[in-house]
Homo-oligomer: A and B are copies of this chain.
Amino acid sequence: MAYRETEKMRLRKAEIRQRIFDCAYQRVSEGGFRNAPINLVAEQAGVATGSVYRHFESKAELFAEVFRRATQIELDKVATALTGDEPALSRLEHALRQFAERALRGPVMAWSLIAEPVDPRVEEERLNYRRSYAEFFERVILEGVEAGSLPRQDAHLSATCLVGALAESLVGPLSPPQQTAAAQHMPSAQDSSWQKVLIEPIIDFCMQGVSGQRR
């Protein structure tokens, strides 16, 4: 035996794999999955096209991983927003606001996660992602119901409705500027008042949906 994988090699490979992943992630966050063909990802990572396949099963698998990573970050934020000892309803409110604000702050990635047309393997991740959100929401709703601060309801369906309402109302504003449509005004992040105008009514609707209470 004249060759055996050494630690140095293992590290180098891990490094390259990471570099490929990072480049894919970056390209997606800058222009969506559409913006990340394998050959460009490879080029940017400084490896040959074929080398990508030494580290990832397929393009779909690489992208599924990118999707999962991006998703996990968002889910963690929501999960954090849901902890605390305020009443269930205000924790839910924090979480929804967190979700919407972050989406508007990183609109390209948010659009990719929510609405960009993707490979079926990645779509599968998207379903998981939506289900995960719904599960988080469902849990708080149940807490609220048990605590008596929320009315009895089908918590699972309410949670699913929340995810849908949020996604649908953000898709429009997040959609990449169309060449056909009039130039989109996406005011600077400094001026956050337009965000409020968008987000608050959505949250009003959602809060009322779960609580049955006017705000």
Nearest-neighbour CB distance to chain B for A32, whole angstroms, equals 13
| Distance in angstroms between the alpha carbons of A158 and B209 in the assembled complex | 11
Would A204 and B165 be within 8 Å (CB), given that A209-B209, A214-B212 are in contact?
A: no
In Å, the complex CA distance between A153 and B200 comes to 10
Within 8 Å by CB of A210, from B157, B161, B167, B205, lies B205
CB of A31 to closest CB in B, whole Å: 16
Q: Is the CB of A157 within 8 A of B212?
A: no
CB distance from A180 to the nearest CB of B (A): 9
Q: Are B157 and A198 in contact (CB under 8 A)?
A: yes
Q: How far is the CA of A208 from the CA of B211 in the complex (A)?
A: 8
A68 within 8 A of B: no
Out of B120, B168, B210, name the residue touching A168 (CB < 8 Å). Answer: B168
Beta-carbon contacts under 8 Å, A146-171 to B: 151, 153-154, 157-158, 160-169
Shortest A130–chain B CB gap in Å is 7
Q: A117-B120, A120-B117, A214-B212 are in contact. Are A205 and B169 (CB under 8 A)?
A: no
Residue A47 is within 8 A (CB to CB) of chain B in the complex:
no
B-chain residues with CB within 8 Å of residue A166 when the two chains form the complex: 164
Residue in B closest to A165 when the chains form the complex, CB atoms = B161
Is A202's beta carbon under 8 Å from chain B? yes
Whether the Cβ atoms of A212 and B208 lie closer than 8 Å is yes
Q: Which residues of A, 108-158, contact B by the 8 Å Cβ criterion?
A: 117, 120, 123, 130, 151, 153-154, 157-158
* A61–B214 alpha-carbon span in the complex (Å): 46
With both beta carbons as reference points, the residue of chain B lying nearest to A155 in the complex is identified as: B201
Q: Is the CB of B205 within 8 A of A209?
A: yes
- Known contacts A117-B120, A206-B209, A209-B206: does B151 contact A160 (CB below 8 Å)? no
Given A117-B123, A160-B169, A161-B169, 15 extra CB contacts under 8 A: A117-B117, A130-B168, A151-B214, A153-B201, A153-B204, A153-B205, A157-B202, A158-B201, A161-B205, A164-B167, A165-B168, A165-B209, A208-B209, A208-B212, A209-B209
